[in-house]
Amino acid sequence: MRGFAPSPVTRWLIGLLVGIVFAIPFAATLLYTLESPSGLSLDRWAALFDPANAAAYRPIWTGLGNSLILAAVTVLLVLLLFAPTMVLVALKFPQLRRGFEFLALLPISIPAIVLVVGLAPIYLQIGRTFGTGAWTLAFAYGILVLPFTYRSIQASIDAVDIRTLSEAARTLGAGWFTVLLRVIAPNLRQGLLAASLISVAVVLGEFTIASLLNRQVLQTALVLINRQDAWAAAISTLLALAFAFVLLLIIGRAGRVGARRQSS
């Protein structure tokens, strides 16, 4: 099989080609925001941060703040609710794995509009109980990211003998909370990290559910601003992509540093 592996030059060429394909839309958008009658200019970028235009561009910053809160709450739901449930199924109820997997993967086969129709009565009650804040969308987003996070976490569970680890820790006197937090979670770090990255990416890019449930997030704010200032929407899109890229790098870097500290 090694004879079929591409050479380093081939891998670099493939990587370069893929990079160019991804870079062309961003470069075109950047040039679009810099164009002016007198040539290239940063005037439109400066206008976005001008205090005089704060009221006009406030939906962008409000939507960005709401999306970041939603991303944080969704990641907490995945790490504190979904991941422990998967560990519990693997340790105590392995016969339920197929059914649990079916339920976790089911949302990917349901169109967003159907999800919204089903969630609308639930959100009517959520609105009466918790209010209509944008953060309540995290319940819907928690369902939306299930198929992606399930695969990431389950791959890590399958790669580690968590039953032996948990029994060994329990034999030494550790409680279940200690077993989960200090024994199992560090061994599932890669899967939990990948699930967190995917959750952040899905939440920052989601539009349909937020729009149909009348919540203001980054994507709905960009559509709103685009109707009155297409350049501002394009600049905000580039900034959002750069922010998401940096955020994913930071999360990935934090995971690798933690793994090195544990191995040393």
> What is the set of domains in the chain, with CATH numbers?
54-261 (1.10.3720.10)
Residue 81 banded pLDDT, cuts 50, 70, 90: very high
Whole-angstrom distance, CA of residue 29 vs CA of residue 83: 39
Residue 82 banded pLDDT, cuts 50, 70, 90: very high
- How many residues in the chain? 264
Above 80 in pLDDT, residue 2? no
The DSSP string of 232-245 is HHHHHHHHHHHHHH
- Which pLDDT value is given to residue 264? 60
Q: pLDDT tens digit string along 129-173? A: 877 777 888 888 988 899 999 988 999 899 888 889 888 988 888
From the number of C-beta atoms within 10 Å of its C-beta (0-12, 13-18, 19+), residue 30 rates as middle
Whole-angstrom distance, CA of residue 62 vs CA of residue 57: 9
Average pLDDT over residues 88-100: 90
Whole-angstrom distance, CA of residue 64 vs CA of residue 221: 8
Mean of all residue pLDDT scores within the chain: 84
Q: For the beta carbon of residue 179, count every other beta carbon within 10 angstroms.
A: 21
Tokens 């999360």, residue?
Answer: 251
Q: pLDDT tens digit string along 181-214? A: 888 988 888 889 888 888 888 888 888 888 888 8
The DSSP string of 15-81 is HHHHHHHHHHHHHHHHHHHHEETTEE-SHHHHHHT-GGGHHHHHHHHHHHHHHHHHHHHHHHHIIII
- Which pLDDT value is given to residue 261? 63
Whole-angstrom distance, CA of residue 112 vs CA of residue 202: 13
Average pLDDT over residues 78-84: 92
Residue environment code for 71-94, b if the CB has 16+ CB neighbours within 10 A, otherwise e: bebbbebbbeebbbebbebbbeee
8 A C-beta contact, residue 161 and residue 90: no
- Which pLDDT value is given to residue 76? 93
8 A C-beta contact, residue 200 and residue 247: yes
Q: pLDDT tens digit string along 43-58? A: 888 888 888 777 888 8
Whole-angstrom distance, CA of residue 124 vs CA of residue 204: 24
> Mean pLDDT lowest for which of 115-119, 130-134, 258-262?
258-262
Percent of the chain's residues with pLDDT above 70: 94
